[in-house]
Structure 1
Amino acid sequence: MKYCLFFLLTVVCFTKSLAQLTDYQVFFGKYSEGLVVRKWVQNGNLMYLGINPNTLKTSIIKNVAVQPLQWDEVLQGYQKSKYIQAWNFEKAKDYRLQDAGIEKSDSTLNGFSLTVDLCPSTKPLARSFFTSVIKGFEVSERPVPITITVTGLWMKSHQDDLKWLISQETAGNLEITWVNHSFNHHYDPKLPLIDNFLLEKGTVIANEVFLNEQAMLMNGLVPSIYFRFPGLVSSKPIFDQILSYGLLPLGSDAWLAKGQLIKQGSLVLVHANGNEPLGLSLFLSLLKKNEGNIKNKKWQLWDVSNLISKE
């Protein structure tokens, strides 16, 4: 099956600068330092989103020699890589309505990964949460690794907050893995899960994924290889569609506001968009209780790619 597809996104772009990014495509190939999963033209340059298949880290590259590949060739040629091993693991979990995808690492490493969701919200970013996390872990980790899942609508209405987060990266306080959380993140509290979020009638999955990737790029972010479903809700057809784009869905086994506990290798989930303060307060309480363990590296924060790639 061919996945080198070109997607005509008919939704109006929300910034003038987005018009500078054209011919955005799902494109698989290889180059001297790894694989590529996207290509586009930006300011007259041919650009690619590359991935190291063993570290799972992505990067933006341009004007390099790339050999096109079909997805089946990627699966075959890189079957021993951490990327394809994780993709095959995901493929086996595509049937679940909630929390399909990677929920935790089975690694024996001490610690967990902190994922922070930024769903659409009219409330300001909980900046104090990030500064508290930076201060709490600075004795053992700097920059502090953190995963932020971001939506297009949040970026559109929170430009100052987004710039602040980027400034924390620039200052060396945070090492952020930026994850696609869909562009619109539709949610209707009156609808059951099977008809909600990305499963809502009329949702165009390609637009939700690729408009947000482009918005991330135009805001100076490097999209990771991960995708988080809004509400952690998916269906087998939609899950498989996300996989066909080369993405790895991220779930969570420790959504703190829902009473789930942090375990070794957990992918912890909190919201810093102002809509779920309980999860933030629970994490900060645990942070204070574990001051000694943090100093002794027994309660560590792990970059999500490092955690997954070391399984």
Structure 2
Amino acid sequence: MSLKHLFQILLYLFVSSANAQFDVRQYTRYTGYGQFNREDLIVLRRFQQNGQLQYLTVNCTTLETRIVPATALQVQTASWETLKKQFKDTPYLKALQYASSQSFSLQDAGIIHGYPKEKGITLTIDLCPSHKPLDRNIFTDLIAAFGTIEKPVPVALSLSGHFLENHRDDIGWLQQLEKNNAIRITWVNH
């Protein structure tokens, strides 16, 4: 299973800030590693955003993705094979290994369960049908139902570039929910 198929997080670049206008250029696959705020990060992509070099990273322990400015991260370039060996005992690489072992299946080939001690909810939503508007009630009902149990409510969202282009108000609304600490969005591929 290629990294390209696991991560289509280019879209995350466009939705990481509710009020920012983005000029993203030279978005390319790039692999390496580094430390940011004492966290080990794997670098998955690099790009220019508003003239500044940025890296798309993943925390190998928490699986949190983050965009980090190049000025804040000293990156060691490494092949994907090297990274797989170096970080083989981390939750991130273990999850990828498990997903790869299931990839023979035509469906459910991804990560399909959480850790046994995980509390709260796990919800994924596919926003790819770009001709349909976002059903905001799903999110408001979710926040109302689970916001007292787990806040922010974790939600994994996948979307297409067409959805992003055609539903900017909906993306802004989702960003505002995240900014208000009502939901925590993880952008995923499907």
User: TM (normalized to structure 1)?
Assistant: 0.50
CA distance in 1, matches of 2:117, 2:177: 30
- Aligned match of 1:118: 127
Q: Which has the larger radius of gyration?
A: 1
Of 16, 37, 43, the match for 1:36: 43
Which amino acid in the other structure matches residue 173 of structure 2?
A: W
Partner of 2:55: 48
Note the alpha carbon deviations across 1:202-241, whole angstroms, 9 max, x for none: xxxxxxxxxxxxxxxxxxxxxxxxx21xxxxxxxxxxxxx
Secondary structure in structure 2 of the residue aligned to 1:96: coil
SS in 2 for 1:165: helix
Aligned partner of 1:175: which letter?
A: R
The residue number in structure 2 matching 1:129 is 138
Structure 1 167/111 Cα, relative in aligned 2: closer, same or farther at 3 Å?
Answer: closer
Q: How does 1:1-311 map to 2 (within 5 A)?
A: 20-32=23-35, 33=39, 34-62=41-69, 63=71, 64-105=73-114, 107-179=116-188, 227-228=189-190
Determine if contact 2:87/2:93 at 8 Å carries over to the other structure: yes
1:300 corresponds to which residue? none
Tell me by how many angstroms 1:122 deviates: 2.6
Identity of aligned residues (%): 35
Q: Deviations over 1:42-90 (max 9, x none)?
A: 2221110111111111111112321100111101111111111111112
Cα distance between partner residues in 1 of 2:59 and 2:34: 10
Please state whether the residue corresponding to 2:27 is helix, strand or coil. Answer: strand
Q: Which amino acid aligns with 1:86?
A: A
Q: How far does residue 127 in structure 1 lie from its aligned partner after superposition?
A: 0.8
* Partner-residue secondary structure (3-state), 1:113: coil
**Greater relative contact order, per chain length (Cα 8 Å cut-off, separation 6+):** 1
- Which structure 2 segments of 5+ residues have no match? 4-20
Contact 2:147 2:153 in 1 (8 A): yes
- Secondary structure, counterpart of 2:162 in structure 1: helix
Amino acid of the structure 2 residue aligned with 1:47: Q
Following TM superposition, by how much is the alpha carbon of 1:142 offset from its aligned partner in structure 2, in angstroms?
A: 2.0
Q: Sort the Cα spacing of 1:43 and 1:103 in 2 relative to 1 into closer, same or farther, 3 A.
A: same
**1:108-155 superposed Cα distances (whole Å, 9 cap, x missing partner):** 435441111102243321111211111111222222111111111111
Per the alignment, in what secondary structure is the counterpart of residue 65 of structure 1?
coil
- The separation in 1 between residues aligned to 2:93 and 2:106, in whole angstroms, is 23
Q: How far, CA to CA, are the matches of 2:33 and 2:130 in structure 1?
A: 39
- Secondary structure of the 2:61 match is coil
Taking only aligned residues, the RMSD between alpha carbons, in angstroms, comes to 1.8
Question: How far apart, in 2, do the equivalents of 1:121 and 1:49 lie?
Answer: 25
Q: Who is 1:282 aligned against? A: none
Q: Is the 8 A contact 2:120 2:149 kept in 1?
A: no
- How far is the alpha carbon of 1:167 from its aligned partner? 1.1
Over 6 Å off, 4+ runs: none
Counterpart amino acid of residue 28 in structure 1:
T
Task: Structure 1 unaligned segments of length 5 or more: list them.
Answer: 4-16, 180-226, 229-311
Structure 1's 44 and 109: CA in aligned 2 closer, same or farther, altered over 3 A? closer
